[in-house]
Structure 1
Amino acid sequence: MEFNTNEHQHLRYNPLKDEWILVSPHRSLRPWSGPNGNATGRSCAQRASGIVTPQYESTYVFTNDFPALLEEGPEPPESDDPLFQIKAAKGTCKVICYHPHSNVYLTSLTVEEVVAVINEWIRQTSELGKRYLWVQVFENRGSHDGLFQPPPALPDLGLDDLNLRKYYEKHGRPMLQDYVQKELKKRERIVYENCEWLVVVPFWACWPFETMVLPKRQIQRFTDVDDAQKVALAHTLQALVAKYDNLFKCNFPYSMGWHGAPTGDKFGESHPHWTFHGLYYPPLLRSATVKKFMVGYELLAQEQRDLTPEKAAATLREQSEKRFS
């Protein structure tokens, strides 16, 4: 099969920013029928592709019917022009169902059920990490209601790795472990903590109620999380989402995900400069209907915020760890 830029996935190089953009033209063929009005809450047995999902009682994983990345595809031709560089992009996209009922949120699951979700995140990281350099575990909550504007750009993971490495080489310690210890001492931006995990509004946060989930013990990847950390993480995630929901008495929308050391051919290597961590990016600003938009200045110049991270952390910290009813 001959490569066609209008049909096949590929990466395009942006020489202004020294970064690659994923182009997935095949996704334009995916169907869209509007928001799901499933009143029963039971996850739909028949998906948009026509494939029937079997009955399941815990977590369930399937390959996305209309993924941004495919495992196979024709190779793009090489280009000698530095301004028009294209290279192959291959991967896979999995969907993880947390519970048989789609209207059940993390806060209403049992701790054991949340641990099952965490175990599935870890299993996918382990299995896919054998084949791919990066496994991105993420969740979008609320986007189907039109409530969320995604961040203007994904983090540059190569730059993250470089900066973490530079700090480690200069100070002899992982940057984010130093950060954990200093936030524990200052206590200005802490939202929640238990024996294993710390949640803070980062000193450098951009989104109004952005948070970072950090381990108190140094770990490099999701696959390093032990049983005690899993249980404590389940409590952490439930408490954090409850605080979010309680803030404006709504199902607080967010995009969240996890970052850790590279996988693939680097899976067996130690990367002591890396600290595994989670990031939550919620858009709401002053109420359930008022959200922050990244517009002219933020998109073209630099990220900006009005509400200080310290005030945001104090507001979240005051919220109950049990969701409103």
Structure 2
Amino acid sequence: MLDFAEQPHKRKNLLTGEYILVSPHRSKRPWQGQVEDLAPDNRPEYDPKCYLCPGNSRADGTQNPPYKDSFVFVNDFSALLEDTPTGQFNEENLLVAESERGICKVISFSPRHDLTLPEMEVDAIKAVVDLWQQEFETLAANEWIKYIQIFENKGSIMGCSNPHPHGQIWAESSLPVEIEKESAQQKTYFEQHGRTLLQDYVALELKKNERIIVDNAHFVALVPFWAAWPYETMIVSKRPVSTIQGFTEEEKADLARTLKELTTRYDNIFKTSFPYSAGMHQAPVNTGEHPEWHWHMHFYPPLLRSATVKKFMVGYEMLATPQRDITPEQAANTLKQQSTIHYKG
């Protein structure tokens, strides 16, 4: 019998089929890693120089409207372009490339320059969820779009270029690598069992109650058994819905509450605005029915031991297999102990 708390072991990621190495004994070693000073978080409610604040001008000269809730626009520096012509390149099957077409949008979560998701009211977060759903439906109406990625990079150490809280939506003409992996795993399971993989996984996690952080009528937030990042979590809908398009008003309200509670717990761990990259994984669009797909949202935060100590994927992790020291169960216990009342920074 494996002792998860003491012995090195590998855990399988059900969604990708890949493994992660867990080395719990290493968490006892003395830490001499990188520590950085945190910049003070003293943002004003409105910044006249911010291109996301209401009424301000963006890089291309467009003026933002005086919006009151959330606001969406096409990224002025899009990584994908809608008018990209179709093209392919193949030299002896060794040098292979093809064009990629897409639409990139930015969503400002709030007119307030100083509010992150955990600091917003639930109704304001619900407005963001509503906008996510509306944008998904609008983008999916383009038959050439095959996948829609909704995500957020929070914090400068996660590459966020503007401190005004915001997220992004990239819609593209092919399936991203991670989606192809998760599609294959979920399809195989559904064909074998007639149920979604995450439907059965969530049922088991609820039964064991070792890694559950949030449990309400429509969603759970948990630390996945196979989590790679120190405080990695995943939000999963209890009903096997394939995309955000299928959520009811009650489910969207519960998702807003789940987002607020989870991100508040994050901030309370180290009493700091907790950085992360987060994003939804959901079924491809305009490619037929996908009953195997079960909506979920990943959170990948880098902080490890304090507000300034980060987990890096280096060496063995870059060249071989992702590895972690604190176990997912230890991380879940830390998150469960946090208050759902946001600390006063």
TM-score (structure 1 length as normaliser)? 0.82
Q: Relative to structure 1, is the Cα distance of residues 174 and 283 closer, same or farther in structure 2, using a 3 angstrom cutoff?
A: same
Of 141, 145, 150, which aligns to 2:154? 141
Which digits, 9 at most, give the CA deviation of each residue in 1:271-319, with x for residues without a partner?
Answer: 2211000000000000000010000110000000000000100100110
Q: Distance in 2 between matches of 1:147 and 1:306?
A: 27
For residues 198-221 of structure 1, the C-alpha deviation after alignment (integer angstroms, 9 at most, x for no partner) is 011000000000000011111111
Q: Which of residues 65, 84, 97 is equivalent to 2:76?
A: 65
The residue correspondences of 1:182-261 to structure 2 (distance < 5 A) are: 182-261=204-283
- Kept after mapping to 2: 8 A contact 1:147/1:253: no
Contact kept, 8 Å, 2:235 with 2:298, in 1: the verdict is yes
Conservation of the 8 A alpha-carbon contact between 2:278 and 2:297: yes
TM alignment of 1:305-324, pairs within 5 A? 305-324=324-343
Question: Can you list the C-alpha shifts for 1:109-133, whole angstroms capped at 9, x where unaligned?
Answer: 2222111100111111111122211
Q: 1:118-133 counterparts in 2 under 5 A?
A: 118-131=129-142, 132-133=145-146
Structure 1 distance, partners of 2:330, 2:253, is 29
- 1:214/1:146 Cα in 2 relative to 1: closer, same or farther (>3 Å)? closer
Letter in 2 for 1:256: A
Task: Give CA deviations for 1:164-211 in whole Å, capped at 9, x if unaligned.
Answer: 111111222110000010000000111111111101100000000000
Q: Does 1:84 align with 2:104?
A: no
Q: Which runs of 5+ in 2 are unaligned?
A: 1-40, 162-175
Matches of 1:189 and 1:147, distance apart in 2: 29
Cα pair distance change 1:147/1:102, threshold 3 Å: closer
Q: Alpha-carbon deviation of 1:96?
A: 0.4
| Cα distance in 2 between the residues matched to 1:139 and 1:145 | 10
Report the equivalent of 1:293: 312
**1:145–1:48 Cα change, 3 Å:** farther
CA contact (8 A) 2:133 2:245 kept: yes
Provide the rounded CA distance (Å) in 2 between the counterparts of 1:92 and 1:125: 12
246-255 vs 119-128, which moves further: 119-128
Aligned counterparts of 1:322 and 1:105: Cα–Cα separation in 2: 14
Correspondence for 1:8: none
After TM superposition, give the deviation of residue 108 of structure 1 in Å. 2.5
Aligned residues: 282
Contact 2:57–2:63 (CA under 8 A) maintained in structure 1: yes
Match of 2:5 in 1: none
CA RMSD of aligned residues (A): 2.0
Q: The residue matched to 2:103 in structure 1 has which SS?
A: coil
**Cα distance change, pair 155–319 in 1 and its aligned pair in 2 (3 A):** farther
Listed one character per residue, the Cα deviations across residues 25-70 of structure 1 (whole Å, up to 9, x for unaligned) are xxxxxxxxxxx99644344412233322121111111110001000
One-letter amino acid matched to 1:307: I
Are 2:154 and 2:160, in contact at CA under 8 Å, matched by a contact in 1?
no
Give SS of 1:79's match.
Answer: strand
Deviations along 1:65-113, one digit per CA (max 9) or x if unpaired, are 0010000123334424211111110001000011111211212222221
Shift of 1:270: 3.0
Partners of 1:261 and 1:147 in 2: CA distance: 26
Tell me the equivalent position of 1:95: 106
* 1:162 equivalenced with 2:184 (yes/no): yes
Is the 1:213–1:277 contact (alpha carbons within 8 Å) kept by the matching residues of 2? Answer: yes
Local SS of the residue matching 1:103: coil
Q: 1:260 to 1:146 in 2, by over 3 A?
A: closer
In structure 2, the partner of 1:18 is none
Aligned amino acid, residue 46 of structure 2: G
Gaps of 5+ in 1: 1-35, 149-153
